[in-house]
Amino acid sequence: MKSRVDVEQVFDVFKNILNADRSYMRDDKQIEGWFFVNFISMQMYYKVYAILLSKGLLNNYSPLDAITYLKSVYMLKTKEGWQTSEIPKKSRLLIEKLQIPIT
């Protein structure tokens, strides 16, 4: 059962972190797509939150921190195949703490 505080926190994330409190859609199909993308974004945000919580890292990293650090890791296609880009130090430390396999 969700408490009022939990629901308010979800709306706060929706508005302030995902910047999804305004849509500039003009028809029903656009607004449905906008809602769908924002729904998936909320699910992903709280999946990251749950992972940080389970690893005991929520005191050091917010979900937004984790997303910011991890979005700088890319897979690059070269002549030899797929390679991981150079990983910044902060991102590498978070990856090690989360025990994410990077291949």
Q: What is the pLDDT of residue 14?
A: 74
Q: Domain for residue 72, yes or no?
A: yes
Looking at the structure of the chain, the number of domains it has is 1
pLDDT in tens, 21-36: 677 778 888 888 888 9
Residue 25, token pair as written in the block: 């859609």
pLDDT in tens, 38-90: 889 889 988 999 999 999 999 999 999 998 898 889 889 999 999 988 999 99
The span from the CA of 46 to the CA of 54, in Å, is 12
Q: Domain for residue 67, yes or no?
A: yes
Global pTM exceeds 0.85: no
Q: Domain for residue 56, yes or no?
A: yes
Q: Domain for residue 103, yes or no?
A: no
Q: Which domain holds residue 78?
A: 4-98
Q: Domain for residue 20, yes or no?
A: yes
